[in-house]
Each structure stands twice: as structure tokens, then as C-alpha cells.
Amino acid sequence: MFIYDEFYFIYAIIIFSISMFANIRIQSTFRKYSKMKCRLSGYDASNLVLMQNDVTGIRFYKTQGNLTDYFDPRTNSISLSDGVYDEFNVSAVGVGAHEAGHAVQMARNYFPMKVRHFLVPVTNFCSALSMPLFFMGLIMVYDSLMTFGIILFSVSVLFHIVTLPVESDASNRALRALEQSGRLSAEELEGAKKVLMAARFTYIAAILTSLISLLRLIMLSNRRKK
């Protein structure tokens, strides 16, 4: 009765719809531009962005999975998935270049990236405790516990908000380097841009869903206090 209020299904449908739309968009865009072949692989594009920005000392790894690509600032390494590392298509180029954009951020001491890196362990800790504490306070009618749970959950919202400019900046650095290199045609550059725009929407979706979740916690808390 505390969790399944009359707004629960509306809330669940909105969250599900936003998440599904973002996932379908990135998957369909990636598949579409995976069919557009080009002269660079994902690995080539990643290396190209690093060279265009005079960034050295980055290690590369090939990892399994679909869209499991990431830059690890702790090891100064880029991991590219099977569908990106040695695939010669526009989607692979966009993703590979984007991860190199993060490496450039680290080399340039991009402040928002430092903030996000600091927030990762804090967010993991707060996320693990926020919901149990909130619903414990809700059941026990303990206002301070509910408030504390909301505050902890707000950290994850902050993390998503900080993540968006970091990801957007990495994409912009990647596209700028690809364009300046002259290695891609205008059509290929436009395709890479669309791949990265679709990926960017997943971060916007994460902000929206986390804000909606936070709003629901606040609404539940206020109703329980009455």
C-alpha cells in the first residue's frame, strides 16, 4: 500500500516509455549506420582522435558485448566492443571516436569529467542505501529517515546531470577531430554525428527518469507525513 499508490502505474509507464524509446533509438541508429561502410574502423577512429589532439599513452582493449565501450580513467585505457573495435563502418567510427574524446578530456583536465569521476563511488554508495532507507522510513513513519533517503537518491540525480555535459563534450571533441582529419566524407561525418546524438539521448533519458523517480519519492514522503 505504501509503494503501489494510485500514481504508481502512471509513473511506471512513463519511466518504461522513456527508457524504451532511448534504447530503441540508439539500437536502431547503430544498426542503420553499421551498414554504412567506411575506410576507418572503430579502433582507427579512436586512434585518429588521440593523434589529432596529441594524446599518447592510451592502451586499447577489445571487449565482448554490444555497445559495452568505455574509457577507464583509472588505467588510462579504452575498451572497444566486438562490434566497434575492428569494424569498418560509421557506427563503429562514431563510438570509437567518442571514447577517445573522453581520453582527450582526461588529458586536458576537463573539470566536469573530474567531478563525474569523483561522484562514481559516492553515487554507488548512495544508490545502494537510498531506497532501503526511504521505504524503511515510509513504513515506520520516520520523517528524518525518508528525508535522508531522498537526499541520498538526489546524488544519483546529480550524477546523471553531470554526466550529460561530459558525454556531449566527448562527442563534440570526437566529431571535431574527425572533421579536421579529412578522413571521412560529409555523409560519413553526418552519420557519425547521428550515432552520437542517439547515444546522447540515452543520457537525457537517464536524467528524466531519475528526476521523475525523485519527484515520486518526494510526493510519497509528503503524503505519508499528512
* Domain extent listing, the chain: 8-225
Q: State the cell numbers at 88.
A: 569498418
Report, as residue numbers or ranges, the catalytic residues.
99
The β-bridge partners of 78 are 60, 71
pLDDT of residue 2: 42
pLDDT of residue 65: 87
pLDDT of residue 5: 60
pLDDT of residue 119: 93
Q: What are the helix (H) ranges across 82-185?
A: 82-85, 90-107, 111-140, 143-181
pLDDT of residue 1: 36
Q: Across the 226 residues of the chain, what is the mean pLDDT of every consecutive 10-residue run?
A: 61 91 94 95 97 96 91 94 95 97 96 93 94 89 90 95 96 96 95 95 94 90 72
pLDDT of residue 129: 94
Closest CA to 74 of 59, 87, 62: 59
